[in-house]
A and B are shown apart, each in its own frame.
Chain A
Amino acid sequence: MKVTVVRAGGVAGMVLTVEVDTGELDADATAQLTGLVDACEFPDVPPAATKGRADTFDYELAVEREDGAVRRARFGQGAAPPGADALVTWVLDGPHGHRRIGR
């Protein structure tokens, strides 16, 4: 399973992409990530839009399963669907991700 978080905007206006692949994680980290993914909702209807607030962050969260199925959510800061904030924080702030700045 591969989890990718794109964070863009902010006062810097930079695009940060962080990717975590369970193929590179130990069993504990894989269990943590799987639990967070299972607890995360990917609503068909996006959460209430927060677009238009200057310099807040916008996010894209994508989870690609081994069978190739991809679930994706896009949301603004403060409008994450249930479970998404915890998953995004684990990916962005944890030590497991491959980080890249750029569009």
Chain B
Amino acid sequence: MSDVSGTLTAVISCRCEIAPPSLLLRVAERGGRDARDAALRTLLVSAALRSRRTALGATLRRFGLSPADLEFLPAQAPATGPENTVYDAAGGEEEALPGRRVRGTDDPPTGDAAVDQAFDGAAATATFYREVFGRDSIDGRGLDLVSSVHFRRRYDNAFWTGDQMVYGDGGGGVFVPGGLTRSLAVIAHELTHGVTQFSAGLEYRGQSGALNESFSDVFGVLVEHRAGYVDAASASWLVGEGILDPSLGGALRNMIAPGTAYSGDDQPADMDAYADLPADDDPRNDNGGVHINSGIPNRAFAEAARTLGGRAWETVGPIWYEVLTGGRLAPTADFAACAALTVTVAGERYGESSAQQDAVRGGWEAVKVRLPADPR
């Protein structure tokens, strides 16, 4: 899209709309290369001007693009904050997204629990990132919050598409009906995949993928901790507590005791039990263990937070946030690189040999991730 940005900028300054979107879409899909490019540029710009950078999801997906391709557009005015909109997918699949608009930023609750929980969870997550870290929404530039609920039938999952949240209703044997929107930690986990997408961009495979998952768990529980005024000592460190089918167990993950959250939980608690899986096309291998080995950095964080006590979002949370968003964590970072950077950042923020740095170092030592030698 880099060559597109100049043209788009020029079109933005023109602010002209020359054809209805339906016609432009037909041209973009069926026209020759030049006509297709011109129609696509006009579509994106007119949509961006008309409805901010938000509801472009369907158009972007259609052409294999993401909101990151619109980075050159001006950020939204911080005073306005992101719009928060929930859509009803009414059992539809990917092509039905986002669905029918059912609640906007200033609208009252709808009475549909999934709609209202998705709305409240997105708002709580955006508020957390703004008030704790000064981050303007998911991308740091005011990206509007778009959620779709009632995706497919009995769909046992929630995910971030790259530009919006999607929630199933559960009830397919893994999640209790309504469980996926009931958990603030799950909502914040998924939205944090968006934060990672727009910051470190951790590749979703192997150890970088496990770090991607872990950052989502970390900030997922921190959003929940802050919303419930839970301190590190009394926290359960469970992700998605009480939303699994009772036959499976109590939670999706246990950050302080990985491998104990549900029947069949195979997360390792330290590097001795690291699952060395190939990042191949076998779904059993979990992209190289992204949901399995994430237990290791999860526990490092929880151990550090427990050592320091108090509010984890104010103690260790800012260190992890700086590591994720500060521009120094490579997309292919492994556990050792991430661990070393957390120790460095802790030293920068709180001083070398500070209690915070020692706690972070202790967290990684507990999970047996190799750290650079302590200079003391």
Contacts and interface: CB of A to CB of B under 8 A. Distances in A.
Given A54-B216, A55-B158, A7 B287 contact: no
A12 B162 CA distance: 19
Nearest to B265: A14
Contact of A13 (B93, B154, B212, B286): B286
B98 to A, nearest CB: 15
Interface string B165-201: 0000000111100001000001001100100100000
Interface string A9-32: 111111110000000000000000
Contacts of A8: 283-284, 286
Interface in B253-273: 262-264, 266
B290 interface: yes
Contacts of A54: 159-160, 190, 193, 196, 204, 212-213, 216
B184 to A, nearest CB: 13
A19 B291 CA distance: 24
| A9, A11, A16, A46 pick with most chain B CB within 10 angstroms | A11
B190 A16 contact: no
A52 B331 CA distance: 12
Contact of B159 (A10, A93, A99, A103): A10
Contacts of A7: 283
Nearest to A16: B174
A80 to B, nearest CB: 10
A95 to B, nearest CB: 11
Contacts of B26: none
Interface residues of B, number: 44
B286 A11 contact: no
B159 A55 contact: yes
Q: Do most interface residues of chain B lie in helix, strand or loop, or is the interface mixed?
A: loop
B352 interface: no
A34 interface: no
Given A10-B159, A11-B189, A52 B283 contact: no
Contacts, number: 104
A69 to B, nearest CB: 20
Given A11-B159, A52-B204, A78-B94, A101 B283 contact: no
A92 B157 contact: no
A13 B161 CA distance: 17
Contacts of B93: 78
Interface string A59-103: 110000000000000100110000000000000110000010111
Contacts of B94: 77-78
B174 A74 contact: no
A99 B174 CA distance: 11
B99 interface: no
B297 to A, nearest CB: 14
14 contacts: A10-B174, A13-B292, A14-B264, A15-B283, A51-B281, A53-B161, A54-B160, A54-B212, A54-B216, A55-B159, A56-B157, A58-B281, A78-B93, A102-B264
Interface of A: 6-16, 46, 51-60, 74, 77-78, 92-93, 99, 101-103
Given A6-B284, A11-B158, A14-B262, 14 more contacts: A11-B189, A11-B240, A12-B157, A12-B240, A53-B204, A54-B159, A54-B204, A54-B212, A55-B160, A55-B193, A59-B283, A60-B282, A78-B93, A103-B266
